[in-house]
Amino acid sequence: MRWRNELYDAELIGVEELRGKVEAAMVRFRRKFYRVPGAPEEDLEQLALQLSHACEVELRASQDSLLEQHKTIANLLTINVKP
C-alpha cells in the first residue's frame, strides 16, 4: 500500500501534465484499486501498463521541450558572446 501512496500522491516533476495522460491513467488505476463503482474493466496489470506508457509519453514530451529551451538559451548566449 505504501508504494501506491508514494506513486499516487507524489509529484511527478518533469513528467506529469495537468489533466494529461499520466493523471488520467493514475485516476483509472486508483478507481480500479479501490473498486470504485464505475471503475475500468481492465485488470490492474493492464492499467499499470497503461500508466507506464503514459509516463513514457509525457516524459519524452517533457524532455523534448527542455531540449528546445536549452537550444534557445544556448543560441541567445552565443549571439550575446560574439566578439
Q: Tell me: the pLDDT tens digits for 22-77?
A: 889 999 999 999 999 999 999 999 999 999 999 888 888 877 777 888 888 888 88
pLDDT class of 2 with cuts at 50, 70, 90: low
State the cell numbers at 61: 514530451
CA neighbours closer than 13 Å in the CB half-sphere of residue 82: 6
With 0-12 CB in 10 A as exposed, 13-18 as middle and 19+ as buried, what is 7? middle
Computed over its alpha carbons, how large is the radius of gyration of the chain? 18
25-38 per-position pLDDT tens digit: 999 999 999 999 99
**Cell triple for 25:** 491513467
Cell numbers describing residue 53:
506508457
